[in-house]
Structures are given as structure tokens and as C-alpha cells.
A and B are shown apart, each in its own frame.
Chain A
Amino acid sequence: EIVLTQSPDFQSVTPEEKVTITCRASQIIGSSLHWYQQKPGQSPKLLIKYASQSISGVPSRFSGSGSGTDFTLTINSLDAEDAATYYCHQSDSFPFTFGGGTKVEIK
């Protein structure tokens, strides 16, 4: 089973600041890594697919990068509505796995 380790677990950020969240896979997964945003009381929402591919309707301040074992989700110029927990997910092999999540709080 591929383990995904996210860091940090928690981040408190000022609006307009840049946020960087990392996800490290326990083995090489190519670009089979996806990012989701989950706001309190809501279902997860797909933000980025295949490491860096954008999703229609998702603000352009969200971007992804990486391949192999190390991946990054970047939020440029954080908005108050971005307060949420962010999860990575690998689909390189079954069983699918998720990272432990990174909670982003707005200062």
C-alpha cells in the first residue's frame, strides 16, 4: 500500500499570503496524484488532477506540481474562502490512498 505523507498538518496564514502544501509518496507514483479541498461540513472537492492539471471552475490561484514521489499544492494569494482541509490522493495503484490532510486556517 502506498502511504502519502502530507506536511504541514496545520497552517495559519494571513490573507494574500502564499500557501505551500507538500505530499510525499512512499514509492514512485508518476503523476497519479490528485488534490481535494474540504471545507467544514462539506464534501471534498477536486482541485487538481494528475499532479498539475487544472480543473474547470477552480480559481487559478490553485496550482499543483511534482512527479515521482514529491508533490506540491500551491495557493497563491490566499483568500478567506480558502479556509479548509486539503487532501492528496494517489491513483497509481490499488488500494487508493489519501494523505492525512493539511488544515489551513485564516489568521
Chain B
Amino acid sequence: QITLKESGPTLVKPTETLTVTCSFSGFSLSTGGVGVGWIRQPPGKALEWLTLIYWNDDKRYSPSLKTRLTITKDTSKNQVVLTMTNMDPVDTGTYYCAHVSGYYFDYWGQGTLVTVSS
């Protein structure tokens, strides 16, 4: 049974760095073809893909956010960490991590709401 759960701050100040951790179980990030991705959703708006990391450490980023994003994995801890620098109020939203089976998201975490405000 695959499960994922996001954890991190609920409130960050403008210009601060956001660090969100995805803890998962039921799969290994050392298995070929497997990845973990991050997707966010501003309140009342559509989904936006941010980044993903594959079992072989191949990393992909949204071009519009690439300079602000970093994704890393800790295979031994079954965790993936997203960092986003220079946070702004427009970055407010729910941040989801999801299991990637090749190229689609088949299991999602419950999401964590991050508010950017001073």
C-alpha cells in the first residue's frame, strides 16, 4: 500500500525559504521507473506541476520556477524534500507530493497548505 504525507510550515514570511518534506511508504525510490513529484494548487485554482525526481536522481523542474526550486531524495529515509526560495504571497497554496509511475501521478499525499504572509 503506497502512502505519502507532506510536512512543513503552514506559514512563511515573504522572502523566506520554504522546506517541505514528503515521507512515503509502500515503495522504494531505488526501484527503476519510480519517482516522486511536487504539484501545488493556489486556493480555488488549478494544479501546477513544480518538480520531480526519479530513482536514478534525474531531476526535472518547472522552467518558470527553476531558479527557486531544489528537490532532493533520501532513499534510506524514504523522504523527498522540496525547497523553494524567496517565497511570495502568490506562492500561497496547497503543496502535494505524488508517486510517479513512469510519467503519471498515481498516488497523492493529502497536501499541506502553505500561507505566505508577513
Contact = CB atoms under 8 A, between A and B. Distances in A.
A49 B41 CA distance: 21
Interface stretch (A19-27, A62-70, A97-105): A97-105
Interface residues of B, number: 21
B108 interface: yes
B96 A97 contact: no
B46 to A, nearest CB: 5
Contacts of A46: 104-106
Contacts of B106: 46, 49, 55
User: Is chain B's binding surface mostly helix, strand, loop or mixed?
Assistant: strand
A10 interface: no
Given A1-B63, A91-B103, A95-B63, A43 B108 contact: yes
Interface string A33-52: 01010100001111001100
A34 B102 CA distance: 12
A32 interface: yes
Contact of A98 (B47, B63, B103): B47
Interface in B15-64: 37, 39, 46-49, 52, 60-63
Contacts of A87: 46-47
A43 B97 CA distance: 10
Contact of A45 (B37, B63, B108): B108
What are the 6 closest A-B residue pairs judged by CB atoms, nearest first? A91-B103, A43-B108, A96-B49, A98-B47, A34-B104, A101-B46
10 contacts: A44-B108, A49-B106, A89-B49, A94-B60, A95-B61, A96-B103, A98-B39, A98-B48, A100-B46, A101-B46
Interface of B: 37, 39, 46-49, 52, 60-63, 96, 102-106, 108-111
